[in-house]
Amino acid sequence: MYNISNRRYTGSKYKLLDWIEELILENCPGESFFDVFAGTGTVTDRMKKHYRKVIMNDFLYSNEIIYKAFYGKEGFERERLEKYRAGFQALDPEKLEENYFSENFGDKFFSRKDALLIGEIREELEALKGVLSDREYCILIASLIYSMDKVANTVGHYEAYRRTGELEDRFVFELIRPEEPSDKVEIYREDANQLVRKVKADIAFIDPPYNSRQYSRFYHVLENVVQWKKPVLTGTALKPPVENMSDYCRNKAPEVFADLIENIDVKYIIVTYNNTYHSKSSSSRNKITLEEIKEILSRRGATEVYEKKHPSFNAGKTDFDDHKEYVFITKAGAAGGG
């Protein structure tokens, strides 16, 4: 069974969690935690045991459905989920007809047989919407995402696929490990700058995208599977029409970040940042500088900066030495603000 951290995801803070958790617990007392750009959900997963209330937000459809699967308020029948797992594992790709997924992604992001299975399972899940509870539907879709991600012919995102000759058939449908129903976690899929005007918490964790890599394009295959609108795909990466783009990946990033920090209603603001601003790769180069982050945060209150050496994400085009991760902690309204 898959845990929430069992994904490949650009910018994931999974390997930094011990450090981040220690800094937050030492410096930021409170009872509620707001993960503004939750991504994989691994930070919330680590931190939620410390708080009475947790708020998660991300603008990707695939991330939202994963949060609902792991942390939803609704119950689910484990026996029913196991029955579908067994049924999906018993599917024979030799007996399946071509489908939207195999026609587009077979022999590219996945082997042809694996793509046939993924497409067939997705079609069956769509037909089961009226039979399954919403939580069960989310759990099975999330399980499909994790099972796909484990065997995808990529470097960890879907910007391109590896051209390595014939692909092995490796797909096996396995379930995620959902938590028991709880009212503790609130889940949103909203523009972060709008959401901060509506919710309130003691502590905000902010890990936005900083470079020109649009996550809706990086994870377009997963977004496609979740929405299942079957759009016409174009280009070598087989992407759908452009949608769900983030201003944090554009030149106006400092402006939208400043708006977010100015309007967020919390006592403590934690911001993570990595120093790829001078990267040789234009797509990796940060749209906000370290100095801009510090200046914007200092307007809200006293800000401390912590740093740690950490290997950077590298898709093979960028040689980046002395990579560091930074954590800024701002006590909102405290003396010392700039």
Please report the DSSP string for 39-70 in residue order: TTSHHHHHHGGG-SEEEEE-S-HHHHHHHHHH
Position 281 scores a pLDDT of: 44
Whether 338 maps to a domain, the answer reads no
Whether 8 maps to a domain, the answer reads no
> Domain of 129?
14-332
Kindly tell me the number of DSSP H helices and DSSP E strands found in the chain: 12, 7
The structure's pTM equals 0.91
Position 318 scores a pLDDT of: 44
* Cα gap 68→38, rounded to integer Å: 13
- CB contact at 8 A, 8 and 146: no
Q: pLDDT tens digit string along 280-333?
A: 444 445 578 889 999 999 999 999 999 997 665 444 444 445 668 999 999 998
CATH of the domain at 134: 3.40.50
Q: pLDDT tens digit string along 246-291?
A: 888 888 889 999 999 999 999 999 999 886 544 444 444 557 888 9
Sheet (strand 324-332) strand order: 185-188, 53-57, 32-35, 203-206, 268-274, 324-332, 301-309
Whether 337 maps to a domain, the answer reads no
Whether 1 maps to a domain, the answer reads no
Q: pLDDT tens digit string along 39-67?
A: 999 999 999 999 999 999 999 999 999 99
- Using alpha carbons only, what angle is made at residue 97 by residues 138 and 218, rounded to the nearest 5 degrees? 45
* Overall domain count for the chain: 1
H or E element: which one contains 195?
A: helix 192-195
Whether 5 maps to a domain, the answer reads no
Whether 7 maps to a domain, the answer reads no
Whether 213 maps to a domain, the answer reads yes
Whether 160 maps to a domain, the answer reads yes
Q: From the centroid of its chain, how far is CA 30?
A: 25
Position 213 scores a pLDDT of: 65
